Structure 1
Amino acid sequence: MHDINELFPTDLPLPAYDVVVPCYNRAHVLADAVASVLSQEHVPSRVVVVDDGSVDASAAVIRALEDAHRGVVIGATLPRNVGASNARNVGLSFCRSPWVAFLDSDDLWLPGAAGALLSATLMAEADVIVGHFCRMEEDGVVQAPECGWDGGDLRAGLASGGVIGPSWSIARRQTALDVGGFDPSYHNCNDWDFYTRLAANGARFRRIEASVAVYRTVAGARLMNDASVGLQNAERVLAHPYFKGA
């Protein structure tokens, strides 16, 4: 695994960023996700945690995080569960920094993640920066780094599936706003659709050779696991004009 600090030295000023964390029934892991962001050497201007109508103790966890990190952790509570896309959009509306990341509440940022993702902007212009992630399955062992997009042909990469995830990427806030954020009609494949629409709108993507996140697959049920709905949404994404001729 690459040493993030060697790949991307942080001796130059890094741009400000915010982090949006959508949460639905994640009281048991939410604090860990937020802590992984607040422990970054380059700390965010704010972490916006959006409770998407949880029925567990998530709201209490968010209040405790707000109290412990006043002015940095901002909580928003939605009256009912609508889905990750809407929750991310609500969080985005609270963001003011030029860059924004969307970390799932059951994932973690690795030490140095913010510096790695943002230092790439000092070397080349980009609107979306994508790192590697490491899976952590039921056994708790962090697996080898991976990234579904090889950094080459973005259109072909996206045509092959949802190869870019919110937890291991960061985007310019205005770039996300320009496409209206995430589409609330998607309860899965929403990130695949989001990055496809960013690419179609001319966003410049860059991949870095550093692992920035742990993708935890056993912290609880994902937001939407209906296979038939997933297939329908995948077909919707692939029907986007961006993929014509891919």
Structure 2
Amino acid sequence: MHARLAKDAMYLPTDDCRSDLTRSTHASLPAYDVVIPCYNRAHVVGDALASVLAQDHAPTRIVLVDDGSSDNSDAVIRRLASMHANVEAAVLPRNGGASNARNVGVSLCTAPWVAFLDSDDIWLPGAARALLDQAAGHDIIVGSFARVEGNAMPGEPECGWSGGDIRRALATGGVIGPSWSIVRRAIVTAVAGFDPSFHNCNDWDFYTRAAADGARFARIDRCVALYRTVAGARLVDDDAINAVNARRVRAHPYLADLLQPA
């Protein structure tokens, strides 16, 4: 597997992010778990895991969820889990989508905070510490991310939410992504996790329902993740389905009232 990673892996910030060493835990920061859903990402899921293991505030548990992949992702994540005491593999018998995979992962979590890192993305050094440093008084902490297209260097940090009115921001679209945010686990439970009926717009729907439930959002001025483009589709590539799901999210009463014409 290491030879394949060396051949196919995309941009990585530093060699340090690929270390297999689990770092120390900062006693002043809350504990957290990480869920990494994986579908046909055998060639990059190890990079995502290594970037979490390299955090200077270590997670309690990392759950790798294979979502019925047709490649050898199941074997890869089982092997990765066997190498690390705090890594657990969950292999699903069939593909159910990212929402279901995240829900399975969070059902195995116990820490008060949980992060959802996509298997083709990477956390930057210090990401967990930067996000959880703002945990007091908040339920969802959001940083920014940098895009990596192919083998290019990362672009400028970006995030769809500036830190202002979260309701107005969510009314404009899916402005927050799981890979550059962290959530209090009680909030995930309160809104019954991610809706499996969404195969895209699922993140937008989740954060909208969390906000409607009273979740307290905070924005930090820190780039915490690389959003990478790798071979294979990330989302449902069908404009009609995308439009239907976008209408479904906007129909939520939390947004619908705001979007009604004056």
Alignment of 1:202-213 (within 5 A): 202-213=214-225
SS of corresponding position for 1:157: helix
Provide the C-alpha distance between the structure 1 equivalents of 2:118 and 2:216, rounded to a whole number of angstroms: 23
- 1:189 corresponds to 2:197: no
Cα distance in 1, alignment partners of residues 26 and 69 from structure 2: 41
Please tell me whether the aligned partners of residues 24 and 223 of structure 1 are also in contact (alpha carbons under 8 angstroms): no
Question: Which of 174, 192, 205 pairs up with 2:186?
Answer: 174
* 2:250 equivalent in structure 1: 238
Q: How does 1:158-173 map to 2 (within 5 A)?
A: 158-173=170-185
Equivalent AA in structure 1 for residue 258 of structure 2: G
**Does the CA contact (< 8 Å) of 1:16 and 1:44 recur in 2?**
yes
Residues of 2 paired with 1:210 and 1:98: CA distance? Answer: 22
TM-score, scaled relative to structure 1:
0.92
Unaligned runs of 5+ in 2: 1-24
User: What is the match of residue 95 of structure 2?
Assistant: 81
- State the shift of 1:217 in Å: 2.0
Distance 1:65 1:185 in 2: 30
User: Partner letter of residue 164 of structure 1?
Assistant: I
Residue equivalent to 1:69: 84
In structure 1, the residue corresponding to 2:161 is in which secondary structure?
coil
After TM superposition, the structure 1 stretch with the greater mean CA deviation from structure 2, 197-206 or 133-142, is: 133-142
Q: Deviations over 1:125-181 (max 9, x none)?
A: 100000000000124210110010010011110011100000000000011100000
Q: For 2:83 and 2:27, locate their aligned partners in 1 and report how far apart those are by CA, in whole Å.
A: 29
1:136 aligns with 2:148: yes
SS in 1 for 2:155: strand
1:146 to 150, 155, 158: 158
Q: Distance in 1 between matches of 2:258 and 2:180?
A: 28
Deviation at 1:218, TM superposition (A): 2.9
Partner of 1:7: none
1:33 and 2:45 matched: no
Residue 63 (structure 2) pairs with residue 51 (structure 1): no
| 8 A contact 2:66–2:90 mirrored in 1 | yes
Once the two structures are superposed, what CA deviation does each residue of 1:20-66 show, in whole Å capped at 9, x if it has no partner?
01110000100000000010000100100110000101011111111
Q: Secondary structure at the match of 2:162?
A: coil
Structure 1 residue runs without a partner (length 5+): 1-9
What's the offset of the Cα at 1:11?
6.9
Aligned: 1:121 with 2:135: yes
Q: CA deviation at 1:224?
A: 2.0
Contact 1:83 1:223 in 2 (8 A): no
Q: Distance in 2 between matches of 1:35 and 1:229?
A: 34
Q: Distance in 2 between matches of 1:183 and 1:165?
A: 15
Q: Which amino acid aligns with 1:127?
A: D
Structure 1 Cα separation of the partners of residues 71 and 229 of structure 2: 19
Higher relative contact order (CA 8 A, sep 6+): 1
| Counterpart residue number, 1:3 | none
1:27/1:56 contact within 8 Å kept: yes
RMSD, aligned α-carbons: 1.3
Equivalent AA in structure 2 for residue 36 of structure 1: S
Shift of 1:192: 0.2
The AA in structure 1 aligned to 2:42 is A
What is the percentage of aligned positions where both structures have the same residue?
Answer: 65
Is residue 33–residue 107 contact of structure 1 (8 Å, CA) maintained in 2? Answer: yes
TM-score, with structure 2 as normaliser: 0.87
User: Within 2, Cα distance between the matches of 1:11 and 1:20?
Assistant: 20
Number of aligned residue pairs: give it: 234
